[in-house]
Structure 1
């Protein structure tokens, strides 16, 4: 397999754009990434488009008006992992030697769905009984409180950290700082999770340009190297689940660390799938940043703050930057690239060398999850 570098990234500000076409948002992200990379349309040999609700042939609609036609365009849906799955396929196409340069784009317009809770598939037994994602993560939170003594204040601290980071991110949906009291006093959604502890729906797009290692210096003097790229799907559940251990993330991260030749202690920053406050805490443990049951210690000590031992979600994460689902994985990649290049003004982690992104997707009755993609990047 060949070395693969990221040579350009771009995204639009997350928010709600009722009057914009989804394809035009994706196109803006593509143009920003290509400008950042210094490439022309003729340089791109393949494109990968990720979206959950993008409809038919979204990728073709994005690239048509840029004159990027005739090349292979792959449209991908993998729930919240759609964008990061597109990223992995672009990496694989180049690493295998099939292409020298490719682009991945994630685009989503959730405001068109009217807001509220995204529905689960009706064929899943739990969905027919009223199971939605906030309820699932509320159960995880209750179990974690019972097993490890967590308090609602611990969950609220995750949101406070998130909003503080997002206040320095011009691409974030929510940029106003908050307090523990405000988080806990926001409307209850699924006890103990309040409104501020649930990620918002919204619109957005992000794109990443990749090329083979031997071609990277042609375009840039600051390539970011893809050291690990992993995509795993859910496994059958046998018996009762440990609600405080996201098994799919544990499996995926082990594979990613092995591929990259690094350990959790080597990671300088991470962007993780904090769709709910409790989720971020669980992923501290599942990704190996601390032992099982110790996540509340990390949040109490400030270990995951911008200036902490292992900064997590310096972008503001899903909770504050936003979560236009098919875009999220590529927005995470974009943030880590900016951090590794020293371009995250106002929220810059000090001299990071290795960054990790983690994006999970969906839930299916009988499996431990739907999908999980993890990327490890290095400068």
Structure 2
């Protein structure tokens, strides 16, 4: 199979934008992605497009993919909409890579978009809840915060994880997000702030939960046959893995990990030919603080039960073993469901091309993105490495 490369990536700001639409947000991300390509690229160069979105609030449930790609001028380009809850655009990137590797396309747009802040709190909880198990979780009143609270409680009981360790995740990610001009919650917080916030679903409090967010992100994936037309230096998609699992938490054997994440990571590492010890940074799916701790373990960054110490000892921060969520993660950068996975790839592109500004991981050559749907019903992992491709 041919190699696939990311030659451009961009995003809108993430936040609350009452004057924007899903089309205008996607246009901002698309334009930023095109502008980031070193060589010349225009709408005529695209062979295919894949767009991830949940369609929160009921807007344009059908044909939302063509609605945004036609808006940005990709006339006639076949467009597929992917819905895999919070992993929608991570899977969109995966499908773009598959199209390129298979030889069916040379240039593919992969992106995502969501508008979440124009609905009431009750409506937003409903639309978030549809990504959970319907009969026995959502219809019985269980929220996603409640599901992840169960996972946090189980992790605490099995490994001795503490609320203070959960709070360190928030402190770290807010510190990173404060240097990200696109972040929804781009401010720092103290450990005291994160410890003393109001409880949302015990043991999780407000600072342990990501915000609901508007935003869009896009990445341009090309084949090895044309990469030198667009870049001298690009991200090679070294490995990609994906997996599914039971949608309902109650259907699983354990609450302390996300098996789909571990399976997806194992596949990505095997394809890439390198493992977690080679990573300089990782963008992981921290919809709740416990999700980041479990990701450390599922992705092999540390052993099971060691994630609490991993964050408090600074091993996931600058100067540590691997810098996690340089963008601020979902916690600080924000979580526009359909745009989150592609947004992680935007951060990987910036890090591996030396364009991350104050967030730059010095000398970064390899990184990973990890995107989860629901409470672990789907997961997708991409491993990237910087490569000089010549012109």
Q: Does the pair score TM above 0.5? A: yes
What residue number does 1:26 align with?
Answer: 26
Residue 45 of structure 1 pairs with residue 57 of structure 2: no
The match for 2:259 is: 247
Report the counterpart of residue 175 of structure 1 in structure 2: 186
Q: Retained in 2: the 8 A contact 1:306–1:348?
A: no
CA distance in 2, matches of 1:231, 1:291: 21
Q: CA deviation at 1:2?
A: 0.5
Q: Confirm or deny: 8 A CA contact 1:23 1:58 kept in the other structure.
A: no
Q: Which residue of 1 aligns with 2:284?
A: 272
The aligned runs of 1:1-379 (5 Å cut-off) are: 1-37=1-37, 38-53=40-55, 55-115=61-121, 117=125, 118-120=128-130, 123-235=134-246, 241-363=253-375, 369-379=376-386
Aligned partners of 2:49 and 2:109 also within 8 Å: yes
**Aligned 8 A contact 1:274 1:319 in 2:** yes
- C-alpha distance in structure 2 between counterparts of 1:18 and 1:223, whole Å: 35
* Residues 100 and 107, structure 2, Cα contact 8 Å, conserved in 1: yes
SS of residue paired to 1:377: strand
1:220/1:193 CA distance change after superposition, 3 Å = same
**RMSD (Å), alpha carbons:** 1.6
TM-score w.r.t. length of structure 1: 0.95
Contact 1:306–1:347 (CA<8 Å) still a contact in 2?
A: no
The 1-side partners of 2:332 and 2:71 are apart by: 32
Deviation at 1:68, TM superposition (A): 1.6
Distance in 2 of aligned mates of 1:175 and 1:153? 21
Q: Secondary structure at the match of 1:205?
A: strand
- TM-aligned CA deviation for residue 99 of structure 1: 0.7
Task: Look up the SS of the partner of 2:15 in the other structure.
Answer: coil
Contact 2:16 2:214 in 1 (8 A): yes
Q: Which piece of structure 1 moves more, 173-182 or 47-56?
A: 47-56
How many angstroms apart in 2 are the aligned matches of 1:65 and 1:141? 42
Please say if residues 14 and 202 of structure 1, whose CA atoms lie closer than 8 Å, have aligned partners that are also in contact. Answer: yes
Aligned to 2:192, the other structure's residue is in SS state helix
In structure 2, C-alpha distance between the alignment counterparts of 1:185 and 1:311, rounded to whole Å: 26
Q: Secondary structure at the match of 1:124?
A: helix
Shift of 1:65: 3.3
**TM-score, structure 2 as length reference:** 0.92
> 2: CA distance between counterparts of 1:66 and 1:239?
42
| SS of alignment partner, residue 110 of structure 1 | coil
C-alpha deviation, 1:145, in angstroms: 1.6
**Offset at residue 235 of structure 1 (A):** 4.7
Deviates most, 118-127 or 14-23? 118-127
Count, aligned residues? 374
Unaligned runs of 5+ in 1: 364-368
Report the counterpart of residue 389 of structure 2 in structure 1: none
Alpha-carbon distance, 1:119 to partner: 2.2
In structure 2, do the counterparts of structure 1 residues 238 and 75 end up closer, same or farther at CA, with 3 Å as the change threshold?
closer
Q: Aligned equivalents of 2:306 and 2:328: distance in 1?
A: 22
> What's the offset of the Cα at 1:286?
0.7
**What CA distance in whole angstroms lies between the structure 2 residues aligned with 1:65 and 1:158?**
38
Q: Distance in 2 between matches of 1:2 and 1:125?
A: 44
- Deviation, structure 1 residue 238: 10
The aligned counterpart of 1:366 is: none
SS in 1 for 2:343: helix
Q: Which moved more, 1:326-335 or 1:211-220?
A: 211-220
Tell me the secondary structure at the aligned position of residue 384 of structure 2.
strand
Q: Structure 1's 301 and 238: CA in aligned 2 closer, same or farther, altered over 3 A?
A: closer
Distance 1:351 1:265 in 2: 15
* Secondary structure, counterpart of 1:346 in structure 2: helix
Q: What secondary structure, in the 3-state scheme, does the structure 2 residue paired with 1:281 have?
A: helix
Query: Which stretch of the first structure deviates more once superposed, 138-147 or 53-62?
Result: 53-62
Paired residues of 2:242 and 2:260 also in contact (CA < 8 A): no
1:59-106 C-alpha deviation (Å, 9 max, x unpaired):
222222333211211111110111111111111111100011110111
Moved more, 55-64 or 208-217: 55-64
